[in-house]
Amino acid sequence: MYKVKVVHKPVIVVHGGAGAWQTERMDLGLAGVKDAARAGFEILKSGQAALDAVEMAVTRMEDDEVFNAGRGSALTINKCIEMEASIMDGKTLDAGAVGLLKDVRNPVCLARIVMEKTDHVFLVAEGAEKLVDLFGLERRDPFTELRIQQWGALKENLMQEKLNYMPKLHRLVASHSQLFEPSTVGAVALDKNGNVAAATSTGGFSLKLPGRIGDSPLIGCGTYADNEAGACSATGIGEIAVKLVLAKSTCDSIHVGRSAQEATEKSIELVNRRMHGGSMGLIAVDMLGRIGAAHNSPNLCWAYMTMKTHQPKASLKAKTVRDAG
């Protein structure tokens, strides 16, 4: 088996979602991912754990309403918000996840509480909400004007049968990319001690059915971290990432010797081959501190920071892997 050498140069990569970013929101998205990468990297530079860095980065993006996570989350078909998040420590394989949250300010912090303070991995709804009060986490109104407007427009289309929404979601996204801004957030990091971590947080998809759980809180699907490989966070159509167990597949791909970049590209090729090119984006880091980012969606809003870059580098594109067919 190929064993990679552990190095200790801290690295963070964050994403603010795949999909099609509207022109007027691009600068806000780029500023948001830069801020998150910088905040996470400060933690790594000070010698703290990758786990702390990804939690910090995701928290920053949950607080930034340009993203579909925390405040600014997308609305369900019945005009509610059901947020979800997960976090994973590559050193121990400990993981925590939460779903169906109404108003906790930072779902990723609750996911970490599930990981560290309970014997479970995944809590949803009332059970998870109870921990919010028990551990004194803040609550915050997650609804924003923009998401309410988007919900109205999408619902109108749905009622007029212009939107064949759920059954063939990937085709819909492909042909109406302007309707969707799946700006889920995520982060992966490698710390000075050679440990990796990953975290992901989302409001899910606009008009999702109540109770729908996507990939973001599912360990292995939207989030995975393992010190024997690397860490990965996914964004895009959650159902696809669930079917392909995409974050774990990407880490497995690193484990057999691919770089983080090769592994993310390979996973997007898999999406193209098996899932008809449904819209996805991936970020990853391997144990050598090499970063990876690839997507088949029109955009991937992402940023990274290393000792060499001094400042976060952000972009709305990474390696775009298109469907060969």
Binding residues for ligand ASP, rule: CB under 6 A, are 17, 68, 182, 184, 202, 204-205, 214-216, 235-238
CB of 280 to ligand ASP, least distance (A): 8
What is the full DSSP assignment across 48-100?
--HHHHHHHHHHHHHTSTTSSSSTTPPPBTTS---EEEEEEETTT--EEEEEE
Given the complex with ligand ASP, which of 73 and 272 has the nearer CB atom? Answer: 73
Given the complex with ligand ASP, which of 194 and 220 has the nearer CB atom? Answer: 220
CB of 213 to ligand ASP, least distance (A): 8
Half-sphere CA count of 15, side-chain side, radius 13 A: 38
3-state helix, strand, coil in the chain (%, to 5): 35, 25, 40
Given the complex with ligand ASP, which of 216 and 259 has the nearer CB atom? Answer: 216
State residue 112 phi and psi, 5-degree precision: -65, -35
Cα gap 226→223, rounded to integer Å: 11
Given the complex with ligand ASP, which of 237 and 251 has the nearer CB atom? Answer: 237
CB of 17 to ligand ASP, least distance (A): 5
Which one of 92, 118, 144, 184 is the catalytic residue? 184
Integer CA distances (angstroms), 316 to 108, 185, 293, 297, in order: 24, 14, 11, 11
Let me know if 144 is a catalytic residue. no
CB of 98 to ligand ASP, least distance (A): 13
Given the complex with ligand ASP, which of 190 and 280 has the nearer CB atom? Answer: 280
DSSP, collapsed to helix, strand or coil, labels residue 319 as: strand
CB of 46 to ligand ASP, least distance (A): 30
Q: Name which of 295, 305, 243, 251 is nearest 95 in CA terms.
A: 251
CB of 278 to ligand ASP, least distance (A): 11
Half-sphere CA count of 307, side-chain side, radius 13 A: 12
Residue with the shortest CB distance to ligand ASP: 238
Given the complex with ligand ASP, which of 63 and 191 has the nearer CB atom? Answer: 63
Could you count the other beta carbons within 10 Å of the beta carbon of residue 3? 9
Q: In b/e form, how buried is each residue of 269-304, taking b as 16+ CB within 10 angstroms? A: bbbbeebebbbbbbbbbbbbbbbbbbbbbbbbbbbb
For residue 324, give every residue at least 6 positions away whose Cβ sits within 8 Å of its Cβ, in sequence order, or none. Answer: 272
Cα gap 54→58, rounded to integer Å: 6
Cα gap 314→114, rounded to integer Å: 31
Catalytic (active-site) positions: 184
